[in-house]
Amino acid sequence: MTPPDRPAAGVAFHSAALISFVAMDSAIKAAVQALPVAVVLWARFAFHLALVTAILAARGRSLPPRTRAPGLQAVRSLCLGAANLTFSAALIHVPLAEATAIGFVSPLLTTLLAARVLGERVGWRRWTGLALGFAGVLVILRPGLGVTHPAALLVLATAALFAVYQVLTRRLAGVDDSETTIFHTAVAALALSSLALPFAWTPPSLGQWAMLALIGAIGGGGHFLLIEAFARAPASLLAPLAYTQMVWATLAGWLLFGEWPDLAAILGGLIVAAGGLFVILGEARAKAMDRDGRRP
């Protein structure tokens, strides 16, 4: 594995991954306007698995890679599949930038789950960040005012499902290598979406097939870019950059769909980002002070 001593390359890979995910979400938003969500979801994982299989075969890996925790891998894959389902359904009605901003509450939910499931300590910084994150979501949703489409609640479901996915990813990190995990990321989700396919099948046009293939390829490629990023740069450097995804999502929503978030949505997104950055940067500073022998 490449040691984490090339931060510039890590930042470049990480930025490319974030842009890839915004591109995938944009393509999904366009696709679900014309095709059933079940068809788009199936294609997302089918082409993802095809790309990952080709890459692993080129690297000389035996296929399929065997996992030492098939149950955990299956549950993790199903959580990602369910998260993609709720997010794709939400994108039919919710602007891309708004959905992305609400989705950023997921790392804060992961904090709570990690404390419960993994026994990780949750200090005052994480509780403060969690409170800020939920406050930001409330600003975006403005419950009771009727200005946000109810489908935005599906994005909250997505955030919760993705939080479980993240916790299971941490649990599997000490069990299977990253290539095994990224292969199994799509397996159970593809199997489940294939069961729904006969009931929702609508034949895509040639152009739609190309878009579906692009969705899967970008999804699989984005995960590989993330792996390469974290192999070259420390997580403390890369984590704050994740919030730049809201910038790319806002631009994509404006350029591709004519969407521009209102002032409350922008303010709420900034509050969510502030909560996450408060945790990330504050804990990084505390760890640095501990290494220097000083108390934060």
- What's the confidence (pLDDT) of residue 206? 94
pLDDT beneath 70, residues of the chain: 1-5, 118-122, 143-148, 234-240, 280-296
Residue 2 covered by a domain: no
Identify the residue whose tokens are 């690297």: 59
Are the CB atoms for 221 and 20 separated by under 8 Å? yes
- What's the confidence (pLDDT) of residue 82? 94
- What's the confidence (pLDDT) of residue 70? 94
Residue 168 covered by a domain: yes
Identify the residue whose tokens are 């299971």: 168
In Å, the largest CA–CA distance within the chain is 64
Residue 20 covered by a domain: yes
Tokens of 2: 């490449």
Residue 1 covered by a domain: no
Residue 183 covered by a domain: yes
Residue 296 covered by a domain: no
- What's the confidence (pLDDT) of residue 288? 65
Residue 158 covered by a domain: yes
In tens, the pLDDT along 81-119 reads 999 999 999 999 988 988 888 887 877 777 777 777 766
Residue 260 covered by a domain: yes
Domain span at 156: 7-291
Identify the CA nearest to 38 among candidates 82, 102, 100: 82
Helix 206-232 and helix 7-31: axis angle, to 10°? 160
- What's the confidence (pLDDT) of residue 110? 75
Please tell me the distance from the alpha carbon of residue 133 to that of residue 274, in angstroms, as a whole number. 8
- What's the confidence (pLDDT) of residue 2? 44
Number of domains in the chain: 1
